[in-house]
Amino acid sequence: MREVYVVGIGITSFTRLEYPLSEIAAYPATVALKEAGYPKVDHVYVANMASARLNHQSGLASAVVDSLSLTPAGATLIENGPASGGSAILQGFLGVASGMFDCVVVTGAERLREVNNLEATDAVAALSHPLAEQIYGVTLPALAAMFTRLYMQKYGVTERHLAMVAVKNHDNALDNFFAHIHEKITIEGILDSPEASTNNPYVAEPLRFFDCCPVSDGGACVILASKEVAQKLGKPMIRLAGVGQATDTHCVHERAEPTELLAVRGAASQAYKMSGLTPAHVNVAELHDAFTILEIAESEEVGFFKRGEGHLALERGETRLDGKLPINTSGGLKAKGHPVGATGVGQAHEIVLQLRGEAGKRQVKEAQVGLTCNFGGFGNNVVCLIFKRED
């Protein structure tokens, strides 16, 4: 396999966007293409979950490649639920690594705010099993809540730990111009004060409003290319050093141990193996905190902390911006936002910024290796990526 490098990145604000979905997908690609010096593009991968259902647009990749005036380059839409973005990067990686393509655009986009929150929740709930979960009213927050209760019982995680994730990620997002939420929160305000039950009501008990990511629109892009293309640019060389993807049962109730996220573990171990790196090499990570509990559980499953000890590392401040392994410096899904198809690409965008040393106030000093974990469904399809700066 050939080595694969990131030669350009672009992003939109994650927020409510009043642009057509195809523009939300194409705009970050224009930013990335400019940065990469307008290379010849062989293929465009577009990641999106719900365009046909929510935006009355099918064949989104064909619209995006044309809007970017990159025809006749090939174009492919990748729908893999919330892991669409990571999956599209993995496919782009394969295209370049195989030698078939020299340069590919991977762009992710979603426009959920075209509909109201309940309809968006229903569209996302379509990820669950139609006959064994959906008919009961199962939503993604419901699955996360049932997982949280088991995790609390088994490992002693409390609502306070969950709130710590939210506070940390909101703090990080304050320094991210593109984040959906720029609002400082405190444990007192969301848990302890007399107003906490109105400030922070239950969504799916024991998960509260501030345990759940917002419903966002947004787009993000990375351009992947061969070493020859990357070297011509004279920029820091950021290599996509490892990729991994694994799946798990569709129904959460069919998992032998319902507190384990085997797909996260499998995807991460493949990515480590390919890159020749270990969890100890990672300086910065973007984990899929669609719900606060997931940042804690994933930090264990990708090997940063022992099982059941992620919340202790959080308590010690190890995952804060000034800690030894900062997690979700962008604000994560929790505060940066979760435009479903764009999310996995947005995670890669943040890691590349960090490795280039371009993350501004939220820069992790001398970051050399970064990991992303993009979590689809309720952990039934997960992609992990490892990026490495090569000087």
Backbone angles phi and psi of 73, in degrees to 5 = -55, 145
**Dihedral sign (CA 90, 95, 99, 102):** negative
State the minimum distance, in angstroms, from the CB of residue 282 to other proteins. 31
The total of other beta-carbon atoms located within 10 Å of residue 153's CB is 10
State the minimum distance, in angstroms, from the CB of residue 215 to other proteins. 11
C-beta of 64 vs 112, nearer to other proteins: 112
State the minimum distance, in angstroms, from the CB of residue 268 to other proteins. 23
Among 37, 59, 99, 137, binds other proteins (CB under 8 A): 137
Residue 270: CB partners within 8 Å, gap ≥ 6?
A: 242, 243, 244, 245, 246, 384
Note whether 280 binds other proteins by CB under 8 A. no
State the minimum distance, in angstroms, from the CB of residue 1 to other proteins. 29
Nearest to 342 by CA among 226, 234, 218, 241: 218
Strand 43-47 to 103-111 pairing: parallel
C-beta of 146 vs 359, nearer to other proteins: 146
Contact indicator for 23, 52 with CB cutoff of 8 Å = no
Instruction: Write out the binding residues for other proteins, residues 217-236 only, by CB under 8 A.
Output: none
Instruction: Write out the binding residues for other proteins, residues 115-134 only, by CB under 8 A.
Output: 117-119, 121-122, 125, 129, 131-133
Nearest to 334 by CA among 202, 191, 212: 212
State the minimum distance, in angstroms, from the CB of residue 150 to other proteins. 5
Distance CA 178, CA 313 (A): 28
Backbone angles phi and psi of 4, in degrees to 5 = -125, 135
Note whether 202 binds other proteins by CB under 8 A. yes
Among 141, 266, 331, 377, binds other proteins (CB under 8 A): 141
Q: What is residue 110's three-state secondary structure?
A: strand
Size of the site for other proteins (CB under 8 A): 35
Residue 342: CB partners within 8 Å, gap ≥ 6?
A: 14, 24, 47, 85, 108, 109, 110, 218, 219, 220
Strand partners, 117: none
The total of other beta-carbon atoms located within 10 Å of residue 155's CB is 18
Note whether 359 binds other proteins by CB under 8 A. no
Strand partners, 212: 291
State the minimum distance, in angstroms, from the CB of residue 211 to other proteins. 12
State the minimum distance, in angstroms, from the CB of residue 144 to other proteins. 9
State the minimum distance, in angstroms, from the CB of residue 138 to other proteins. 6
Stretch that binds other proteins, among 37-45, 72-80, 88-96, 196-204 (CB under 8 A): 196-204
Rg of the chain on CA atoms, in Å: 19
Stretch that binds other proteins, among 95-103, 158-166, 197-205, 320-328 (CB under 8 A): 197-205
Q: How many residues does the chain have?
A: 391
Contact indicator for 355, 206 with CB cutoff of 8 Å = no
Instruction: Write out the binding residues for other proteins, residues 240-269 only, by CB under 8 A.
Output: 251-254, 258
State the minimum distance, in angstroms, from the CB of residue 380 to other proteins. 13
- Crossing angle of helices 159-174 and 292-301, rounded to 10°: 90
State the minimum distance, in angstroms, from the CB of residue 212 to other proteins. 9
Per-position x/- string for 146-175, each x denoting binding to other proteins as judged by CB under 8 A, each - no binding: xx-xx--x----------------------
Contact indicator for 374, 343 with CB cutoff of 8 Å = yes
C-beta of 129 vs 388, nearer to other proteins: 129
Note whether 187 binds other proteins by CB under 8 A. no
**What residues line the site for other proteins (CB under 8 A)?**
117-119, 121-122, 125, 129, 131-133, 135-139, 141-142, 145-147, 149-150, 153, 201-207, 251-254, 258
